[in-house]
Amino acid sequence: MKKRCPGMDPAFFKPEDIREQQCTGCGAGLEFWKDDVFLTCPSCGARNTNARVGHTCLAWCKDAASCVGSKDIEEWLRRHGGGGEKP
């Protein structure tokens, strides 16, 4: 298993790194962890974007896609003009 930076390693997550967000399609509760970019609602199938992605290192780190092992962050960066600001 590839080692992740501490910012995106679930072993270092805190309770505030997990957030419930309503589905944009049906309003059902979805549990987003901070390394989730998109989740598909099991109730209605709508694809939902994590509202907090822009506030994490996934928004600015050049290694984000390889860190979380997902093409989702690359799609999010394309949609949001290259990402956010480094804190």
41-58 per-position pLDDT tens digit: 999 999 999 888 877 777
Under DSSP, the state recorded for 4 is P
Structure tokens at 53: 């992605």
Answer whether residue 64 shows pLDDT above 80. no
Answer whether residue 1 shows pLDDT above 50. no
Look at the pTM and tell me if it is higher than 0.75.
no
* 70-82 confidence digits (pLDDT tens): 778 778 777 776 5
Under DSSP, the state recorded for 86 is -
Reference 79, options 38, 39, 45, 40; nearest CA is 38
Instruction: Tell me what the mean pLDDT of segment 4-14 comes to.
Output: 77
